[in-house]
């Protein structure tokens, strides 16, 4: 099976273009899920403090024979831990739960503009980064206004902005903003949480002999995005990574344009 392409972040660290999302993956399922993913070729795992499964992810990774250096672990700071000191403590607690010496990527989970703390939180992220315990740092669910405010005082430009992005919610303007600032865009809910009812996607699936999920994930890849689909089923975990042996052409890609309803499936970062 062709390998997952790597994307170079703005600090030179490389991240696989496809990884496994772990939101709502139960601790009891983690060994099976991680084993299936590693065997299928996944090397990127996306967790968060709030998911409650950092410890079971760390245990599952330690059980595997894949070297730590080949694995890319992302975790995220939860909202009520924002603030300089709280962030430093929350990061150490995440590392301890994961049982790791470092993470590959640490993200501010939501901007939480009503708390007005993401600028000082970012200063703590920069300290963590300089200390070498996070190979890259970034944000999640940040819009242009949040990023502009953060960039006004930042010494380190975020490597990634992880945002809701799927064919129904394509976020073209925010992707352009990220790109213009050297920030890679990562798609959460890349499958719109499993909604594949669209006839355009079904027709492309028939044309390419692929499943609708594979068509949608390939669309993310063609757009240069980093996607982190979730599944708790080994067969689907394998299905979702089997997308590097075909390509969508310009006509196929154009068909997606009409699918953008500009409607989120998840919360709005301005108010959440
Ligand atoms: N930063 C943030 O604020 C944020 C927010 C949300 C999510 N995320 C991250 O992004 C990851 C992915 O997003 P998500 O979990 O919301 O949704 P998603 O990956 O878009 O969709 C997951 C759903 O699709 C189903 N599915 C997966 N593969 C399938 C396939 N091949 N065929 C049919 N159904 C399939 C899964 O069901 P089964 O499990 O039953 O297969 C699950 O119900 C999360 O796990 C998390 O790591 C981040």
* Cβ-Cβ contacts under 8 Å for 72 (sequence gap 6 or more): 15, 16, 19, 43, 44, 45, 104, 105
- Whose Cα sits closest to atom 48 in ligand 1? 188
Please give all residues whose beta carbon lies within 6 A of any atom in ligand 1, as ranges. Answer: 21-23, 46, 109, 140-141, 162, 188-194, 211, 213, 228-233, 236, 239-240, 266
Active site residue 106: no
Gap from CA of 146 to ligand 1 centroid (Å): 25
* pTM of the shown model: 0.98
Q: Classify burial at 136, counting beta carbons within 10 Å of its beta carbon; exposed 0-12, middle 13-18, buried 19 or more.
A: buried
Written as tens digits, the pLDDT of the chain (272 aa) is: 678 999 999 999 999 999 999 999 999 999 999 999 999 999 999 999 999 999 999 999 999 999 999 999 999 999 999 999 999 999 999 999 999 999 999 999 999 999 999 999 999 999 999 999 999 999 999 999 999 999 999 999 999 999 999 999 999 999 999 999 999 999 999 999 887 888 999 999 999 999 999 999 999 999 999 999 999 999 999 999 999 999 999 999 999 999 999 999 999 999 99
SS3 state at 254? helix
Q: From the candidates 51, 106, 118, 129, which is the catalytic residue?
A: 51
Q: Which atom of ligand 1 is closest in space to residue 48's alpha carbon?
A: 47
Gap from CA of 117 to ligand 1 centroid (Å): 29
Q: What pLDDT does 1 receive?
A: 67
- Whose Cα sits closest to atom 25 in ligand 1? 194
Residues in the chain: 272
Q: Which atom of ligand 1 is closest in space to residue 188's alpha carbon?
A: 10
Return the structure tokens found at 28.
């009891």
Alpha-carbon distance of 189 to 42, in angstroms, equals 17
Q: What pLDDT does 193 receive?
A: 86
Pocket test for ligand 1, best of 16, 22, 23 (most atoms within 8 A of CB): 23
Q: What pLDDT does 241 receive?
A: 98
Gap from CA of 49 to ligand 1 centroid (Å): 17
Gap from CA of 99 to ligand 1 centroid (Å): 25
Return the structure tokens found at 119.
């600028």
Terminal C-alpha separation, the chain: 40
- Whose Cα sits closest to atom 31 in ligand 1? 236
């Amino acid at each position: 099976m062709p390998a997952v392409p790597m994307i170079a972040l703005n600090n030179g660290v490389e991240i696989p273009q496809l990884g496994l999302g772990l939101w709502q993956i139960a601790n009891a399922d983690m060994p099976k899920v991680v084993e299936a993913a590693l065997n299928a070729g996944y090397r990127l795992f996306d967790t968060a403090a709030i998911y409650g499964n950092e410890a079971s992810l760390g245990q599952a990774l330690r059980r595997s024979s894949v070297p730590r250096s080949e694995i890319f672990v992302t975790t995220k700071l939860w909202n009520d831990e924002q603030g300089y000191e709280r962030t430093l403590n929350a990061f150490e607690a995440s590392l301890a739960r994961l049982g790791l010496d470092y993470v590959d990527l640490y993200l501010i989970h939501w901007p939480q503009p009503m708390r007005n703390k993401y600028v000082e939180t970012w200063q703590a992220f920069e300290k963590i980064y300089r200390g070498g315990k996070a190979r890259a740092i970034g944000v999640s669910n940040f819009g242009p206004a949040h990023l502009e405010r953060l960039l006004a005082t930042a010494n380190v430009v975020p490597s990634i902005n992880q945002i809701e992005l799927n064919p129904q919610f394509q976020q073209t303007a925010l992707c352009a903003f990220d790109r213009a600032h050297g920030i890679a865009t990562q798609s959460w809910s890349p499958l719109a949480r499993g909604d594949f009812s669209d006839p355009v996607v079904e027709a492309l699936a028939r044309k390419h002999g692929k499943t609708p999920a594979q068509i949608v994930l390939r669309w993310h890849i063609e757009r240069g995005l980093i996607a982190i689909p979730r599944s708790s089923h080994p067969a689907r975990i394998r299905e979702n990574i089997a997308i590097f042996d075909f390509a969508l052409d310009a006509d196929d890609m154009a068909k997606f344009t009409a699918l953008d309803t500009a409607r989120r499936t998840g919360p709005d970062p301005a108010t959440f």
